[in-house]
Amino acid sequence: QVQLVQSGAEVKNPGASVKVSCKASGYRFIGQYIHWVRQAPGQGLEWMGRINPNTGDTDYAQKFQGRVTLTRDTSISTAYMEVRSLRSDDSVIYYCVREALGMDVWGKGTTVTVSS
Amino acid sequence: EIVLTQSPGTLSLSPGERATLSCRASQSFSSSYLAWYQQKPGQAPRLLIYAASSRATGIPDRFSGSGAGTDFTLTISRLEPEDFAVYYCQQYSGSLPYTFGQGTKLEIK
């Protein structure tokens, strides 16, 4: 079945970086955009950016431009999101999401905790 | 940026009742790019409706979407106990960034 499997929870110090992976299976990876969405505890959904797995082209929300990098490795059908210069308000759940007809397949989320 | 405003913030209803959730956009966009999601505690969101009115795979027909331009509606015809959750609308038109509404919490009365 179509699924996105994300890497496990991370604990990082302020100022560090984190890289979250998202492995796709059950469909042609290069065929659909992968998006990243984050959610703070008890809060709503925030779109961060997207990557075209075929070309590697990316788009970012202005808020994350320059601090977030989206990449992919087509040989293993995996997308990555790296966040640099982590702050306490980056302690959220990060989701990778496939866009087909709407955002139809979501990973289970990766919790990142930023704490000294 | 297209801002989506959902109302009400919280909706208190009983099982069997009809729920009507609203999503209003700050500017008009194609209804082909409006989606609704359901999120339960501790779970990732789930796609319910895409293109404003098309049900995603496996979504019961008690869920329906409508609207165009700047005003969109999600209707749940007869609430089941499992429908109590938070609902988000989202626009995914060519106008980046993609944006979500702030959510409507549907709670049991």
> pLDDT tens digits, residue range A78-108?
999 999 999 999 999 999 999 998 999 999 9
Shortest CA gap A75–chain B (Å): 27
- CA distance, residue A10 to nearest chain B CA (Å): 17
Confidence of residue B78 (pLDDT cuts 50, 70, 90): very high
CB contact under 8 A, A102 and B56: yes
- Facing B100 at nearest CB: one of A45, A62, A101: A45
pLDDT at B31 over 90: no
CB of A44 within 8 Å of a chain B CB? The answer is yes
Of B47, B101, B102, which is closest to A104 when you measure between CB atoms? B47
Q: Is B47 on the interface with A (CB under 8 A)?
A: yes
Q: Answer yes or no: do A47 and B100 touch at CB < 8 A.
A: yes
- Average pLDDT across chain B, whole number: 96
Contact (Cβ atoms closer than 8 angstroms) between residue A84 and residue A50 = no
**A102 touching chain B per CB within 8 A:** yes
Using a CB-CB cut-off of 8 Å, the residues of chain A touching B46 are 106
The kind and range of the H/E element at A15 are: none
| Alpha-carbon gap, residue A78 to B81, rounded angstroms | 37
Judge whether A41 is closer than 8 Å to chain B, CB to CB. no
With CA atoms as reference, report the closest residue to A92 among A58, A115, A60, A61: A115
Q: How far apart are CA B37 and CA B100, in angstroms?
A: 10
Express each pLDDT in B43-72 by its tens digit: 999 999 999 999 999 999 999 999 999 999
SS3 content of chain A, % helix, strand, coil (to 5): 10, 55, 35
